[in-house]
Structure 1
Amino acid sequence: MPNQQRADARRNYARILAVAEAEVAAHGANASLEQIARTAGVGSATVRRHFPTRRALLEAVSHQRIDALATRAHDLTTADDSRTALLTWLSDVVTYCVAARGLAAALTYDNTATDSIYENSCSAALETAATPLLDRAIHDGAITPSVTVTDLITLAVGVVLATEHYADPATEAHRLFALTVTGLSPG
């Protein structure tokens, strides 16, 4: 938030964000913006002024987890096995997305939007953080050269979104993620 913002606007932003974190934790990416506004004690226009899109709200709510994933990617860049390091990080992405309702939705790509307001800062931060991991794995011959970080994030997010309504979404997400990494062929 810009420092030149009025004190009441900064307080509203902080209150809306705190309420939004609780609502997204309880209801996922479909948390009601109107309920967030009511609980925060502001009008829905105030919520939309601070968060013009649902994605903007989800990105703000997910900011700390995205930073943690970026730090984890950086920490793994010095691991001995580049493939294992990349897959460990992707498994962490799956774990975070399952645990933090709404994070998977914040990481989805919207290729139809061209306005900068729709840029996906969460995915961009993870792409920046994971690129050295992927580049090293490709350089070591451990990953197919045509794979991109966007592909990997899309894969992880897709698995999480496909399993979010299972009785045990974490187990199913990790099982399917492992299946995609190893493939369908035996041995």
Structure 2
Amino acid sequence: MRADAQKNRSQILTFARDAVAEHGADASMRDIARRAGVGLATLLRHFPTREALFEALLCTHLDALTRKADELETSAAADAALLTWFRELVVFTQGYRGVVAMMAAAHANPDSALYASCAAVHSAGARLLRRAQDEGTARADMTGDDLFALITALGWAVDQPSFKARADHLVHLITSAILTNRPGNNVGKAT
């Protein structure tokens, strides 16, 4: 890629990140191009669809979450690893308003530009959950799909202004329902 094209792409991603933080997944492509100082045609040449732009924008973070899961698998107790990763994923979803709906849709659509990154995050979470289940610290009746659905639901809830202030409490409630042997947790293991 030519240097000027690479510069335009980087600028677009930088300003897209800001626009998405302000306006969520409904950020205007025209506004992003204007903020980046490029024409709409230039933006569309780099990112022909909104989903392609989000894929490029989110891929870095999703890949980092996948690498974090790999690191936690070998460096932390199973329940602590799952809890740390779960919280980091929720923080990620809070940083990109509207991204949860895109991730949920991409998760079930192999043709989506976000599918591979979402599938990798889903798989990483499922591995962390299985490890905690094998050690007896997570509910035995959960699957990776259940975990992804709970993260999606929680991400949607904390994206709502009325629930944003309760995000930490909601994370605690959900993780307490997943992790069965944590201090102060009265949820029993499934039999």
TM band (smaller chain): 0.7 to 0.9
**Structure 1 position 145, deviation (Å):** 4.6
The corresponding residue for 1:57 is 53
Matches within 5 A, 1:133-148: 133-145=128-140, 147-148=142-143
Q: CA deviation at 1:182?
A: 3.3
**Aligned match of 2:182:** none
User: Could you tell me whether the CA contact under 8 Å between 2:107 and 2:119 is conserved in 1?
Assistant: no
CA contact 2:55–2:113 (8 Å) conserved in 1: no
Task: Tell me, in whole angstroms, the C-alpha distance in 1 between the residues paired with 2:5 and 2:32.
Answer: 16
Please report the TM-score for the alignment, with normalisation by the length of structure 2.
0.75
Q: How does 1:138-177 map to 2 (within 5 A)?
A: 138-145=133-140, 147-166=142-161, 169=164, 171-177=165-171
User: Normalization by structure 1: what TM-score?
Assistant: 0.76
Higher relative contact order (CA 8 A, sep 6+): 1
SS of the equivalent of 1:77 reads helix
Hey, what's the Cα distance between the residues in 1 that align with 2:78 and 2:110?
35
Residue 175 of structure 2: aligned partner: 181
Distance 2:171 2:71 in 1: 22
- Aligned runs of 1:1-187 on 2, under 5 Å? 5-79=1-75, 81-110=77-106, 113-115=109-111, 117-145=112-140, 147-166=142-161, 169=164, 171-183=165-177, 187=186
Hey, what's the Cα distance between the residues in 2 that align with 1:104 and 1:130? Answer: 16
- Alignment check: 8 A CA contact 2:65 2:121 kept: yes
Question: Structure 2 unaligned runs (5+)?
Answer: 178-184, 187-191
Percent of residue pairs identical:
37
Letter in 1 for 2:124: A
RMSD over equivalenced CA pairs, Å? 2.9
Pair 1:103–1:47, CA change in 2 (3 A): same
Change (3 A) 1:108 1:137: same
